Amino acid sequence: MADRDPALAEAPAPGGYVGRAVRTLEGRAPIVGAARYSNDFRFPGQLHAAIVRSPHARARILKVDLSGARKVAGVVLAMDGREVATHLGPIPHYIDPATFGGKSAEVRTMAVDHVWCHGQPVAVVVAEDRRTARWAAAKVQVAYEVEPAVLSVEDAIAPDAPRVVPGWDDNVIMAVPFRNGDPDAAFARADHVVATTVRIHRFSTQPIETRCYNAVWEEETESLTLYGTAQNPHPLRHVLSKVLGMPEGRIRVHAPAIGGAFGMKMHGHPEESLVCLLAKLLRRPVKWVETREECLLIGAREQVHHLELAFSRQGDLLALRDRFFANTGAPSACPGWGMAFLTGLTMPGPYRVRDIDVTMTALVTNKPSWNAARGYGKEATALALELALDEAARQLGFDPAELRLRNFIPADAFPYASPTGLQYDSGDYAGAVRKAMEAIGWDGWRARQAEGPKDGRYLGLGIAYELTPEGGALPGTMVAGYDSSTVRVAPDGSVRVLTGVTTPGTGNPTGIAQIVADELGCPIEWISVVQGDTTTCPYGFGNYSGRSTIVGGGSAALAARAVREQMLKVAAAMLGVGVQALRLSNGVFDSGDGRTLSFAEVAYAAYTRAYDVASCITPPLEAQATFRPPSIRHSPDADGRINPYPSYSNAAYAAVVEVDSETGQVKLLGLAAAHDCGRVINPLLVEGQACGAIAFGVGGALMEEIRFDDAGHQLTRSFMDYVMPRAEDMPGVTMVHHDSPNPDTYMGLKGAGEAGVGGSAAAVVNAVNDALKPFGVAIHDLPLTPARVWAAIHGSGAAGGAA
Amino acid sequence: MSLYPSLARPRTLADAAALLASLSSGGVVIAGGQELMPSINAGVLAPEVYVDIGGLAELRGIAETPEGLLAIGALTVHRELQTHPLVTAKLPLLGHAATRAGGGRQVHNRGTIGGNLVAQHPLYDLAPSLLALEAEVEWVKGSETVRQPLAAMLADSRHGLGSEAILARVLVVPMAEGLGFAYEKLKASGGAYGSANAAALVKLTNGRVAAVRLVVGAVAERLLDASAAAAALLVGRPFDAAAGAALAHAVSALVTAPLSDAQGPGPWRQAMAGVVARRAVAAAVQRAGRA
């Protein structure tokens, strides 16, 4: 175990801003329409780019004829992929599979002579306005020789399957075994083995703000600025420097307000470097705004799990086997494929089983590429495990809650070394399940269910658990576990926090400001938080993996503490007392003998009396600090395993549904969650995040799906086809907290941004399957659309009898 | 096709009709824009001339005609259908269907009855009720004014977006006192289009079905007028569970080529046609019984 960082124990006493439901400082601007999103950046002389995309899933490009587009008045440039490739190098992978022993495809900004998915960029047109650019793009003629596409994982693993990446010997990016103990022996001695196949479909995250990039060429300094939707400005700058062949010092990335990201605005997208190239070539600002149809091309999550669970007669889970396959679409430089790795690494979730035999196989296919999506593979672990456990409970006649309670890691076993090498920090899984069941009124619903169906409507109850490692760090990649902040106090006492973490709109600047206000002992209104700019902020890794408050807040606290020390020294000198005699709270230094100084007086003195009372410090009032969670371990253990996470959020979910046996419609009657994200900085922010993730889960379980035809054309092109939950689809969500502080982070924080998608989805699916119990059927193919539920009921042969 | 289309705003219906006739295929009528603009934004349509009829007073308003019909101007928006006292009193089925139409309040405030019908979209919510009510439509093409049953217009492929004709009014016989009505809509989730819907009108005499009109939508390319099948099964009998089951079975059997799309696969749509038909008739019977 890593040594505890002594600084972690020194957090201010409770009673300040931390823990309170402070309204977001940055929330006013979007509400009054004053927030400045990427598309609100307009530059004189700005040009607009439109991208021509492949209508085919797999094809050879025979000829690209740009002449029609070039003839349109207002068009200034038209290029095909071959020409773009003469200017731009391959895009570096966010997480290169080769770093972990997998295969690394060369990913170009645009297709050069071969197309590997529907929607892949083939040509680009730049014009004086967006309309002209789109109009002219429609005039680009591309001759394709269409080839048979590889669409499913079954297609992809067939020995004679066409190769998605020309030159690869198969379609496997990476296959990883996660094996511990002696699973074969455990299966041999088991009383029961339950086999289940779980199919998780392709669903997405759809931020209301689609992606947008504005590239501006500064002739004076021969440098580029990208104003755009970027979760990770500094790492993106590094990528742009590699692709464009320019030093990082000549590139600035500025990420303004973001209207939702959920992983989709992590980088590796071809348009990032393409728009920069266009601005550089044309010496004029260039804008590209993603359409909703383009945004829907970014996939995630599609996996097939073949699970086997071995049980003793008493219901102890003795061993787990899972062969799972991820359909990650065409190769991409974005970090999407890594989701599959995390699905395996997070097995067996909150359960104490030690004998496991899990194999992850991440495959490329001719569907459009994945990018990271909230949950980052951990939602798939929860879905696979929780659906399989309920199937086991049904087959073996156990109560689903009892089966879980029997098999959880006990609360006194933390820190806990998981069979895949993770080190879980803390938790009380059984306690959380009991709280969630109580919150939803479990026993009352069970009693109503026992009264039998009414008018063909069947009640169902489901529970599920999700363990969500957050704050991840992968060695050799830009997925870093640490981050940095600078805290500055101005001569008037106002406080500026510059931090390397960014916000996708979650409110983390307010959480960081609460932490800094308590550390500095000043009102929160004096604090402003600056994020998302490579020129002004310390080098940082931005937003992903539920990290922003853990490492952004932790580093800001350490920096604020250093500034506080400086101010205390100055105040002590001004009052002629020892530092120990001073108390600082609510912006006032109090000597205890009736004399006080204001925060502003001390700040002004620190700047203006450097040869007098401030000679004891080094001006300005500014400090930078880094928080590096100590429990992340990248040196492999004897089995070659690492612990890439400092924080293991977890939550229990309970759902109640009513299934209309005649139509297959599922109505959600109740949802509850008991959530453990460690110490809660701001319950408003945590509950907002959790409710959002739960709605994601509901959408994924019941309705959201990206569909294709048999040739690999994507059919889902707008919100008319990709239907997310509306208010009428969501019941009230009862949130209760069940916090166990994390000993390895500042203030005991765990991530709170990612958890909930898989747990809530699994609870809903388990509730539907509970409702379907009288029909003797269960569905493990998602989503549970009314048609699918209806088909299960009416294919069961029990529809007449049970209804 | 032009990158820079023009906008025409004729002052009279006659001017608008004459202009459209002179434009051949390049012109398109725009009023509320709720159907047209998504098609244009998606690049499906690229008109040369938009003929904006939104300002034509002749197409506005809801009034009773001398022959006792309710005349609904083509520019009447869904929100008016939901709230107008004449619709509430005389055509409650239509008013009810308008509340179930897709889209939020903003869409209901802009989308017109004319646009809804001209789209000839199998999933839309106003046509089933109007067909059940045996509505007529009046449209203008060039200098000619044509009045025909809505059913005939919906079956005519020359109508739809981009047509040279302008729908002027919808004419409906007011519903008789005591007539039971219901519009039943089934959708996969709150934000989805309907997967099956049904509009029903039922007259009860002494607890027995005396007359029935039943139109089922969203399950096939064309709306299904199942009134004859429903009448054959139901008239002269009380509407009980057995009658409902027989009706559902009969209606599903009429759906020979179900739609199979993002709203659900064909076999389910076919089955749901029967379910919504039975539910609509049951609800209409209940209302008629209360009257």
List the CATH number of the domain containing B22.
3.30.43.10
Residue B28, SS3 per DSSP: strand
* Euclidean distance between CA atoms A169 and A737, whole angstroms: 50
Tokens 């511990």 -> residue:
A180
B191–A794 CB contact, under 8 Å:
no
B191–A724 CB contact, under 8 Å:
yes
Residues of A in contact with B192 (CB under 8 A): 703, 723
User: In terms of Cα–Cα distance, which of A292, A151, A266, A275 is closest to A216?
Assistant: A275
B3–A791 CB contact, under 8 Å:
no
User: In terms of Cα–Cα distance, which of B291, B78, B113, B281 is closest to B182?
Assistant: B281
pLDDT tens digit sequence for A221-249:
999 999 999 999 999 999 999 999 999 99
pLDDT tens digit sequence for B94-148:
999 999 999 899 999 999 999 999 999 999 999 999 999 999 999 999 899 999 9
pLDDT over 60 at A616, yes or no: yes
The per-residue DSSP string of A20-86 comes to S-PPPTTSHHHHTT---BGGG---TT-EEEEEEE-SSSSEEEEEEE-HHHHTSTTEEEEEEHHHHHH
B49-66 average pLDDT score: 96
Residue A14 preceded by cis peptide, ω within 30: no
Buried/exposed code over A95-110 (b: 16+ C-beta within 10 A; e: otherwise): bbbeebebbbbebbbb
Residues of A in contact with B267 (CB under 8 A): 791
Q: What is the CA radius of gyration of chain B?
A: 19
The verdict on B31 and B90 lying in the same domain is: no
B268–A790 CB contact, under 8 Å:
yes
Residues of B in contact with A790 (CB under 8 A): 268, 271
* Euclidean distance between CA atoms A265 and A210, whole angstroms: 9
Exposure of A385 by Cβ count < 10 A (0-12 exposed, 13-18 middle, 19+ buried)? Answer: buried
pLDDT over 90 for what percent of chain A? 95
The verdict on B66 and B94 lying in the same domain is: yes
Tokens 């009709």 -> residue:
B17
pLDDT tens digit sequence for A575-595:
999 999 999 999 999 999 999
Task: List Cβ neighbours of B15 (8 Å cut-off, separation of 6 or more).
Answer: none
For chain A, say whether B249 makes contact (Cβ under 8 Å): no
> How far off is chain B from A785, nearest CA to CA, in Å?
7
Residue A194, SS3 per DSSP: strand
Domain end call among B172, B207, B232: B172
Same topology, domains A6-19+482-627 and A303-474+635-802? Answer is yes
> How far off is chain A from B192, nearest CA to CA, in Å?
6
* Euclidean distance between CA atoms A319 and A354, whole angstroms: 7
A656-672 average pLDDT score: 98
pLDDT tens digit sequence for A195-215:
999 999 999 999 999 999 999
* Cβ-contact A288, A213 below 8 angstroms: yes
A48-60 average pLDDT score: 98
Domain total for chain B? Answer: 3
User: In terms of Cα–Cα distance, which of A18, A8, A25, A14 is closest to A683?
Assistant: A18
Residue A783 preceded by cis peptide, ω within 30: yes
The verdict on B48 and B62 lying in the same domain is: no
pLDDT over 70 for what percent of chain A? 97
For chain B, say whether A725 makes contact (Cβ under 8 Å): yes
The verdict on B245 and B260 lying in the same domain is: yes
A703–B192 CB contact, under 8 Å:
yes
HEC profile of A412-450: HHCCEECCCCCEECCCCHHHHHHHHHHHHCHHHHHHHHH
pLDDT tens digit sequence for A385-436:
999 999 999 999 999 999 999 999 999 999 999 999 999 999 999 999 999 9
The verdict on B246 and B212 lying in the same domain is: yes
- The answer to which of A79-93, A222-236, B26-40, B157-171 has the lowest mean pLDDT is B157-171
Residues of B in contact with A791 (CB under 8 A): 267-268
The verdict on B164 and B186 lying in the same domain is: no
The residue that leads in pLDDT, B156 or A153, is A153
pLDDT over 70 at B47, yes or no: yes
The reported pLDDT for the residue numbered A13 is 55
The residue that leads in pLDDT, A701 or A795, is A701
The verdict on B99 and B147 lying in the same domain is: yes
Enter the tokens of residue A765.
Answer: 């699916």
Exposure of A590 by Cβ count < 10 A (0-12 exposed, 13-18 middle, 19+ buried)? Answer: middle
Question: Using 50, 70 and 90 to split pLDDT, how confident is the model at A800?
Answer: very low
In this structure, what CATH number is given to the domain that contains residue B65?
3.30.465.10
User: In terms of Cα–Cα distance, which of A56, A54, A114, A49 is closest to A79?
Assistant: A49
Q: What is the dihedral of CA A173, A179, A184, A185, to 10 degrees?
A: 180
For chain A, say whether B116 makes contact (Cβ under 8 Å): no
pLDDT tens digit sequence for A720-746:
999 999 999 999 999 999 999 999 998
Distance from first CA to last CA of chain A, Å, rounded?
Answer: 57
User: Does residue B1 sit within a domain?
Assistant: no
Angle A306-A308-A313 from CA coordinates, rounded to 5°: 160
Q: Long-range contacts made by residues A508-511, C-beta under 8 angstroms, separation at least 24?
A: A508/A543, A508/A548, A508/A549, A508/A552, A508/A553, A508/A685, A509/A24, A509/A25, A509/A26, A510/A22, A510/A23, A510/A24, A510/A25, A510/A26, A510/A27, A510/A682, A510/A685, A511/A548, A511/A549, A511/A553, A511/A681, A511/A682, A511/A685
A138–B43 CB contact, under 8 Å:
yes
Nearest CB partner across the interface for A662, out of B3, B192, B275: B275
Enter the tokens of residue A373.
Answer: 């999506």
Question: Using 50, 70 and 90 to split pLDDT, how confident is the model at B163?
Answer: confident
- Of all residues in chain B, the one with the smallest CA distance to A727 is B190
Enter the tokens of residue A315.
Answer: 């219901």
> How far off is chain A from B194, nearest CA to CA, in Å?
11
For chain B, say whether A700 makes contact (Cβ under 8 Å): no
The verdict on B244 and B277 lying in the same domain is: yes
* Euclidean distance between CA atoms A634 and A424, whole angstroms: 15
* Euclidean distance between CA atoms A227 and A258, whole angstroms: 11
* Euclidean distance between CA atoms B11 and B46, whole angstroms: 24
User: In terms of Cα–Cα distance, which of A645, A619, A618, A617 is closest to A630?
Assistant: A645
The verdict on B168 and B186 lying in the same domain is: no
For residue A549, the 8-state DSSP code is I
A134–B43 CB contact, under 8 Å:
yes
Task: List Cβ neighbours of A399 (8 Å cut-off, separation of 6 or more).
Answer: A393
Query: How is domain A6-19+482-627 classified at the CATH fold level?
Result: Aldehyde Oxidoreductase; domain 4 (3.30.365)
For chain B, say whether A703 makes contact (Cβ under 8 Å): yes
A79-92 average pLDDT score: 98
Domain end call among B172, B195, B225: B172
Domain containing residue B46: 6-52
The verdict on B159 and B96 lying in the same domain is: yes
Domain end call among B172, B206, B221: B172
Q: Which residue, among B1, B189, B193, B197, would best test binding to A if mutated, counting the most A CBs under 10 Å from its CB?
A: B189
A16-45 average pLDDT score: 94
* Euclidean distance between CA atoms A730 and A153, whole angstroms: 33
For chain B, say whether A72 makes contact (Cβ under 8 Å): yes
pLDDT over 80 at B3, yes or no: no
> How far off is chain B from A440, nearest CA to CA, in Å?
23
Question: Using 50, 70 and 90 to split pLDDT, how confident is the model at A801?
Answer: very low
User: Does residue B97 sit within a domain?
Assistant: yes
In this structure, what CATH number is given to the domain that contains residue B195?
3.30.390.50
Pairs of CB atoms within 8 A across A/B: 61
Exposure of B177 by Cβ count < 10 A (0-12 exposed, 13-18 middle, 19+ buried)? Answer: exposed
| A38-147+207-295 CATH pick, 3.30.590.10, 3.40.50.10490, 3.20.20.210, 3.90.1170.50 | 3.90.1170.50
Enter the tokens of residue A68.
Answer: 């029609």
pLDDT tens digit sequence for A116-166:
999 999 999 999 999 999 999 999 999 999 999 999 999 999 999 999 999
The verdict on B96 and B136 lying in the same domain is: yes
Q: What is the mean pLDDT of chain A?
A: 95
The verdict on B147 and B240 lying in the same domain is: no
Domain layout of chain A by residue ranges: 6-19+482-627, 38-147+207-295, 303-474+635-802
For chain B, say whether A707 makes contact (Cβ under 8 Å): yes
In DSSP terms, A115 is beta-bridged to A59
User: In terms of Cα–Cα distance, which of A766, A760, A699, A703 is closest to A735?
Assistant: A760
pLDDT over 80 at A796, yes or no: no
A728–B190 CB contact, under 8 Å:
yes
Question: Using 50, 70 and 90 to split pLDDT, how confident is the model at A3?
Answer: very low
The reported pLDDT for the residue numbered A638 is 87
A617-642 average pLDDT score: 94
For residue A714, the 8-state DSSP code is B
For chain A, say whether B181 makes contact (Cβ under 8 Å): no
B188–A785 CB contact, under 8 Å:
yes
For chain B, say whether A143 makes contact (Cβ under 8 Å): no
pLDDT over 70 at A8, yes or no: no
User: Residue A174 belongs to what H/E stretch?
Assistant: strand A172-180
| A303-474+635-802 CATH pick, 3.40.47.10, 3.40.50.920, 3.30.365.10, 3.30.70.920 | 3.30.365.10
Q: Long-range contacts made by residues A583-589, C-beta under 8 angstroms, separation at least 24?
A: A584/A520, A584/A521, A585/A521, A586/A521, A586/A522, A586/A523, A587/A493, A587/A521, A587/A522, A587/A523, A587/A526
User: Residue B280 belongs to what H/E stretch?
Assistant: helix B266-290
> How far off is chain B from A729, nearest CA to CA, in Å?
6
pLDDT tens digit sequence for A677-691:
999 999 999 999 999
Residues of A in contact with B272 (CB under 8 A): 663
For chain B, say whether A62 makes contact (Cβ under 8 Å): no
A786–B42 CB contact, under 8 Å:
no
pLDDT over 70 at B39, yes or no: yes
